């Protein structure tokens, strides 16, 4: 796309170099150069609109990426909080394992001391305890107590070992979860980096688009100035020719229905209020359009707004324009006579129906045609 922008800009520069600011030659030549410039202005406006559309699309993509980046950041923060909480629980488990290990060690020491004492005393220790009994029942009770003490010590050690095993298993599961969380966080961070890189790339591209748009607008302004200069040259050339004389003839004898007067109006297509620079006269498609006076055709061609149109220079700075024609019957540089058919009624360009858009220009300024036309019969 950047290459396309460069091509457009080079094209504009080439056009400007082809049509120098100080244009010479006949009025027809000047009109031709002006029309070429206007056509190119229309083309680069379209290019500028395309670039603006692409820029808007890129802006939307950047907004989507920014939204995705915010979501990834929030999810990363959430996972980090979970990891911190898990680290605390792992620390608690480690502390619990230490405590249980200490308790096991202490109970082991007590049990070992008791067993060691019994071993060193031999069976005499048991016998002494039993013989000191008052009776057989007391002796049996004392034997049961000894067995219970030993059994209790063993059960206690077993319970503590089981608790330790459970805590160690819990810690192992927590470690696995921590590794999983770490992997998830690393993946989220990687995605954030990818989105950030993509966003910055699109931002840079958007800046290049904006730069190209500004350059095209600058070149467009230069071409418009060139077109205005050519218009001044045309006016100077027109003023150098004497006016043919007499009143201007009605261009559509027999058809006098005016559908839009000269002056301010709401545009029939866009609805925008603007200055209507001519008079619109309704007539059937194909009706002959007559030249309002003797003169020379200084332009015959197409414009996106006028459609097919023709301009006749009558000398003395006076010219008439006939637009929205279905067909042109005279060419540039061709002399025409008053009342001669120069075109056919149509609806080309920005038009809502068959009609003639008729203009009278005096030294390039559009005037109300009704002030110059011969009264209708």
310 near 297, Cβ under 8 Å? yes
Nearest-angstrom CA–CA distance, 127 and 320: 143
Tokens describing residue 211: 């730069």
Nearest-angstrom CA–CA distance, 317 and 314: 7
CA within 13 Å, CB half, 2: 7
Task: State the CATH architecture for 1-240.
Answer: Orthogonal Bundle (1.10)
How far is C-alpha 247 from the geometric centre of its chain's CA atoms? Answer: 57
Decide if pLDDT at 346 tops 90. Answer: yes
Nearest-angstrom CA–CA distance, 282 and 49: 34
Domains of the chain, by residue range, sit at: 1-240, 258-371
Decide if pLDDT at 21 tops 50. Answer: no
Decide if pLDDT at 2 tops 50. Answer: no
pLDDT at 333: 84
- Of 59, 19, 1, 2, the closest CA to residue 219 belongs to 19
pLDDT at 153: 66
How would residue 9 be classed by pLDDT, with cut points 50, 70 and 90? Answer: very low
pTM: 0.48
Nearest-angstrom CA–CA distance, 359 and 178: 83
pLDDT at 17: 44
Burial class (CB in 10 A: 0-12, 13-18, 19+), 272: exposed
Q: Please give the share of the chain, as a percent, with pLDDT higher than 90.
A: 24
Axis-axis angle for helices 2-18, 27-131 (nearest 10): 160
Mean pLDDT of the 26-32 span: 77
Select the more confidently predicted residue: 352 or 322.
Answer: 322
Are 1-240 and 258-371 equal in CATH topology?
no
How would residue 25 be classed by pLDDT, with cut points 50, 70 and 90? Answer: low
The CA-to-CA distance between both ends of the chain, in Å, stands at 61
Nearest-angstrom CA–CA distance, 298 and 296: 6
329 near 343, Cβ under 8 Å? yes
How far is C-alpha 131 from the geometric centre of its chain's CA atoms? Answer: 101
- Of 46, 3, 33, the closest CA to residue 223 belongs to 33
CATH number of 258-371: 2.70.70.10
How would residue 19 be classed by pLDDT, with cut points 50, 70 and 90? Answer: very low
Distances (CA, A) of 192 to 14, 64, 203: 45, 13, 16
pLDDT in tens, 123-167: 444 555 556 655 556 555 655 666 676 676 677 667 777 877 887
């Amino acid at each position: 796309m950047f290459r396309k922008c460069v091509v457009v800009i080079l094209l504009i520069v080439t056009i400007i170099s082809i049509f120098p600011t100080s244009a010479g030659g006949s009025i027809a030549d000047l009109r031709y150069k002006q029309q070429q410039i206007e056509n190119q202005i229309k083309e680069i406006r379209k290019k500028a609109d395309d670039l603006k559309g692409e820029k808007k699309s890129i802006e939307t993509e950047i907004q989507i990426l920014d939204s995705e980046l915010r979501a990834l950041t929030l999810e990363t923060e959430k996972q980090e909080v979970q990891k911190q909480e898990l680290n605390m629980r792992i620390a608690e488990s480690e502390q619990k394992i230490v405590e249980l290990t200490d308790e096991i060690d202490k109970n082991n020491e007590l049990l070992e001391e008791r067993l060691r004492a019994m071993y060193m005393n031999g069976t005499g220790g048991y016998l002494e305890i039993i013989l000191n009994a008052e009776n057989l029942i007391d002796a049996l009770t004392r034997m049961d107590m000894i067995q219970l003490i030993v059994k209790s010590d063993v059960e206690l050690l077993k319970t503590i070992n089981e608790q330790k095993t459970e805590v160690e298993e819990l810690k192992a599961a927590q470690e696995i979860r921590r590794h999983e969380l770490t992997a998830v966080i690393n993946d989220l961070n990687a995605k954030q980096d990818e989105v950030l890189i993509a966003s910055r790339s699109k931002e840079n591209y958007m800046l290049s688009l904006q730069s190209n748009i500004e350059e095209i607008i600058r070149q467009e302004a230069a071409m418009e100035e060139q077109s205005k200069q050519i218009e001044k040259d045309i006016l100077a050339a027109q003023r150098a020719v004497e006016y043919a004389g007499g009143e201007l003839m009605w261009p559509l004898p027999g058809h006098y229905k005016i559908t839009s007067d000269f002056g301010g109006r709401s545009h029939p297509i866009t609805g925008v209020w603007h200055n209507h620079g001519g008079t619109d006269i309704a007539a059937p498609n194909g009706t002959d359009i007559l030249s309002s006076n003797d003169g020379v055709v200084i332009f015959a061609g197409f414009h996106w707004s006028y459609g097919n149109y023709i301009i006749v220079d009558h000398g003395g700075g006076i010219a008439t324009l006939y637009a929205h024609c279905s067909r042109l019957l005279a060419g540039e540089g061709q002399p025409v006579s008053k009342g001669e058919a120069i075109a056919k009624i149509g609806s080309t360009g920005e038009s809502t129906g068959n009609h003639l858009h008729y203009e009278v220009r005096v030294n390039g300024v559009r005037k109300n045609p009704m002030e110059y036309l011969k009264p209708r019969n």
